[in-house]
Amino acid sequence: MNTTNNEATQLKRVQEVALNGEEPPLNYLSKDKPTTEASSSSSIPIIDLHLLLSSTSTKEKEDEIDKLRSSLASWGFFQAVGHGIPSILLDKILSTMKEFFHLPMEEKQKYSRVGEDGTMEGLEGYGNDTVKSEQHILDWCDRLYLLVKPQERRTLKMWPESPKHFRETLHEYSVKASLVADNIIKVMAQSVGLEENSFLSQFGKSAPMYARMNYYPPCSRPDLVDGIKPHTDGGGITILLQDKEVEGLQVFKDGEWIKVPIVPHALVVNIADQMEIMSNGMFMSPMHRAVTNSEKARISLALFYVPDLNNEIGPAVGLIDDTRPRLFRNIKGKDYVEFFTKNFLQGKRAIDWARV
């Protein structure tokens, strides 16, 4: 098979480079020279979903709703506790992911998103970045990317059969996390005075959810290499399960990078671009990144909840008035995702394209 140098590098997994003790190749070195330094912050909001979703109306619940609204406006990020997903399941999905990434390369390659002819077969599967040009800087991350919802659209040939409990564990986690996501979106709508299904109706009944399992090997030059480059997410909301021991997620706020601390068994929730559009800018889609570690590997599991590509999204009618004019135009979900993907690979924000 004939490949260019870029294609050959892309076919070589980050794990292989790290295990061989190689210096990061040139197309992993960020031109912006990322620094791993960031401020530690205990002020990243922690939201109690159990309190938010309680059926009784109390002062504590109202205060928590206010805290949620403020968090989404100023941070676009919060740590969710009281979400109802058993800790034993959270531990199991992380350990299952770790088992998969520690399998021999030939086993993982069975689920590669690169076909035998060297071409990409789609988003789903095992691999790393798609190389678009010689200027494209790669992330220091291998990942397994899978559609988990709707269930009837799952590409099961990409779901690993090893470890043997992989499929059932991911299924159980994604079903429970999907319910959490729906409940969060309902409360988000209520927090700005809307009917609870105002945002969910724009997602649609067939809204997809994707799981991205990330593995960040140790990197000898964390000062020069991004785990995942700075970006916003292009969907509706993202739910992230962090590594239990190794930090790496950072959010950009007020001109500086802030570490997102590990809160045991919490879910990190962040607003994505299409939710900022639906909220008419009341919620913020934050810039965030993953940094590398010179000594320890790190894993994480992100669930991306995306409005149905065939739906039209736009600011909720109840959030537009004389004092709060429309900030974004209505757009087709498919069009936004295509534009977002193109801009993401170039390190640019796409949401400005949707502004009025």
pLDDT at 345 (0 to 100):
62
pLDDT above 90 as % of the chain: 70
Are 256 and 39 contacting, i.e. CB atoms less than 8 angstroms apart? yes
Q: What is the mean pLDDT of residues 116-139?
A: 69
- Which residues, in sequence order, are bridge partners of residue 239? 269, 303
pLDDT at 25 over 60: yes
Per this entry, what is the length of the chain?
356
- Residue whose pair of structure tokens reads 């639906």 in the numeric block: 278
- Tell me the one-letter amino acid at 280: N
Tens-place pLDDT, residues 34-63: 565 667 666 789 999 999 998 888 899 999
Largest Cα–Cα distance of the chain, in whole Å? 66
User: Tens of pLDDT along 218-229?
Assistant: 988 888 899 999
Q: What is the pLDDT of residues 225-244, one digit of tens each?
A: 999 999 999 999 999 999 99
Contact by Cβ (8 Å): 266, 81: yes
Answer yes or no: are the C-beta atoms of 305 and 203 closer than 8 Å.
Answer: yes
Q: What does the pLDDT read at residue 298?
A: 96
Dump the DSSP string for 39-86: B--S-S-EEEHHHHT-SS--HHHHHHHHHHHHHHHHTSEEEEES----
Task: Report the percent of the chain where pLDDT is more than 70.
Answer: 87
CA angle in degrees (0–180, nearest 5) for 115-120-123:
115
Residue 3 banded pLDDT, cuts 50, 70, 90? very low
The chain-wide mean pLDDT, for the chain, equals: 89
Question: Residues 245-264: pLDDT tens digits?
Answer: 999 999 999 999 999 999 99
Domains of the chain and any CATH numbers: 5-354 (2.60.120.330)
